[in-house]
Amino acid sequence: MTRLARASFILSMIVSAPALAADISLDHPWSRATPANAPVGAGYVSIRNSGVAADRLVSATADVAGKVEIHEMAMADGVMKMRQVQGIDIPAGKSAELKPGGYHLMFMGLKQPLKAGDTVKGSLTFEKAGTVPVEFKVEAMSGGEHKH
């Protein structure tokens, strides 16, 4: 193999290699406290992709929930609607905000109420970066939104 061919091969392997979990960072994962018998809760977080390739959040888990779905809230015909989505794109070098009134995680089938001060352990799974552990801090029902 010539030096040029070898360099070209190595470069192609680097460019096509999947992003590492190190390319994904999570800022201020949080959730709101829930009433005693609430069947659902929500998770919010800012996801930063410092890699050179786009990635996509495709699923999530939370130890307090039977299942976790990715949802979006959006205005449609003057009405706020919530719907499940199959994933959230995280462009290279950009962030995606999961926050009230937008994309968020729905903790379905809560096994216990979410209490202020507690933490919820879980994971976020990305197409390229794989599974990244996360710990959501439960904040008071009236609080939560991260101020920049």
**Total number of domains constituting the chain:** 1
Asked whether residue 1 is assigned to any structural domain, the reply reads no
Do strands 95-98 and 24-32 pair parallel, antiparallel, or not at all (unpaired)? unpaired
Nearest Cα neighbor of 37 from 105, 112, 108, 141 is 112
Half-sphere exposure of 36 (CA within 13 A, CB side): 0
Is this structure's pTM higher than 0.85?
A: no
The pLDDT value recorded for residue 49 is 97
Asked whether residue 38 is assigned to any structural domain, the reply reads yes
CB 32 within 8 A of CB 11: no
The pLDDT value recorded for residue 92 is 97
The pLDDT value recorded for residue 6 is 55
Asked whether residue 29 is assigned to any structural domain, the reply reads yes
Asked whether residue 94 is assigned to any structural domain, the reply reads yes
The pLDDT value recorded for residue 76 is 83
Enter the DSSP assignment of 85.
-
The pLDDT value recorded for residue 4 is 54
Asked whether residue 79 is assigned to any structural domain, the reply reads yes
Residue 27 neighbours by CB under 8 Å, 6+ apart: 45, 46, 47, 48, 146
- Report, as ranges of residue numbers, the positions in the chain whose pLDDT lies below 70: 1-21, 143-148
The pLDDT value recorded for residue 19 is 43
Asked whether residue 130 is assigned to any structural domain, the reply reads yes
Asked whether residue 144 is assigned to any structural domain, the reply reads no
What is the CATH number for 65? 2.60.40.1890
Q: Find the domain containing 97 and state its range.
A: 18-139
The pLDDT value recorded for residue 20 is 56
Asked whether residue 118 is assigned to any structural domain, the reply reads yes
